[in-house]
Amino acid sequence: MLQSCHENIDGEFTIFCCDLQLRNLFIGKSTFNFIFIQKEEIKYVMPYKNLEEYNIEVTKDIKERYKNIIEDLGEDTSRDGLIKTPERAAKAMQFLTQGYDQDPVEILTGAMFKESYNEMVIVKDIELYSLCEHHILPFFGKVHIAYIPNGYIVGLSKLPRIVDVFARRLQVQERLTEQILDCINNTLKPQGVAVVIEASHMCMMMRGVQKQNSITTTSGFRGQFEKIETRNEFLKLIGK
């Protein structure tokens, strides 16, 4: 029974094949060249493996473009340390922009639970890593999210997950703030939601104006958080 088959960018296959009934495990490097492992050897196979998958055609295309860029910058892509760099960079950029293919609504609705709790829920200091859409340089910092339930609570981890969905795109901090806010507001339909983002932008630190200590704060409030007392309680609880 074929469990999974992964082709890397050089067309090499890794196959994981496991017949649980017979308790035999096959693991190989090509479609036609299995290594047969007896059940006693199963202990050498990791019980958990986190696999990264990339579209081969897209990766090849981005890799070639990176090769040209690196050469245009005056480097030699055939030197030892740079041989695999175009492919690494192609994979890194696809990782950092994977949010385009993810559905934040599906993530939230996947863990909404009926509950009568109707006080403020705050998840603060969520790490943020995104890319500024003007220079394709990182901006990074913290996101603080609060909501007041309206019959439903949401799995806590889903809030950082939707931060990542919107952060792993080419972004501006203002739009990122609004997208997180609107997604929670429209999906969970709470009594209120608040989002504050504090971030440093590498395009202002490493180049351009070269300011190392400036932090940009953006915020958005919906429902109950539009009331000054509720908003102030939230800001006090996140230490602002």
Ligand X SMILES: Nc1nc2c(ncn2[C@@H]2O[C@H](COP(=O)(O)OP(=O)(O)OP(=O)(O)O)[C@@H](O)[C@H]2O)c(=O)[nH]1
Known catalytic membership, residue 6? no
What value, to the nearest 5°, has the Cα angle with vertex 85 and ends 62 and 131?
60
Is residue 60 part of the contact set for Zn ion (CB under 5 A)?
no
Query: Which of 34, 95, 18, 38 lies closest to 62, judged by CA?
Result: 95
Is residue 167 part of the contact set for ligand X (CB under 6 A)?
no
Contacting residue, 124, 135, 142, 161, with Zn ion by CB under 5 A: 135
Phi and psi, residue 56, nearest 5°: -65, -45
Query: Which of 195, 187, 65, 194 lies closest to 128, judged by CA?
Result: 195
Known catalytic membership, residue 127? no
Residues in the chain: 240
- For Zn ion, which is the closer residue by CB, 215 or 237? 215
Catalytic residue among 94, 173, 179, 224: 173
Q: Which of residues 125-144 bind ligand X (CB under 6 A)?
A: 132, 134
* 3-class DSSP state of 225: helix
- Binding site membership: which residues? 132, 135, 203
What does the DSSP 8-state code read for residue 211?
-
172 binds, among ligand X, Zn ion, none (CB under 5 to 8 A by kind): ligand X
Name the pairing type of β-strands 112-114 and 121-132: unpaired
Binding to Zn ion by CB under 5 A, coded x per residue (else -) over 187-216, reads: ----------------x-------------
Contacting residue, 65, 134, 175, 211, with Zn ion by CB under 5 A: 134
In whole angstroms, what is the distance from residue 214 CA to residue 207 CA? 14
Known catalytic membership, residue 226? no
Question: Which residues lie near ligand X (CB under 6 A)?
Answer: 132, 134, 172-174, 201, 203-204, 208-209
Q: Which residues are known catalytic residues?
A: 132-135, 173, 201, 203
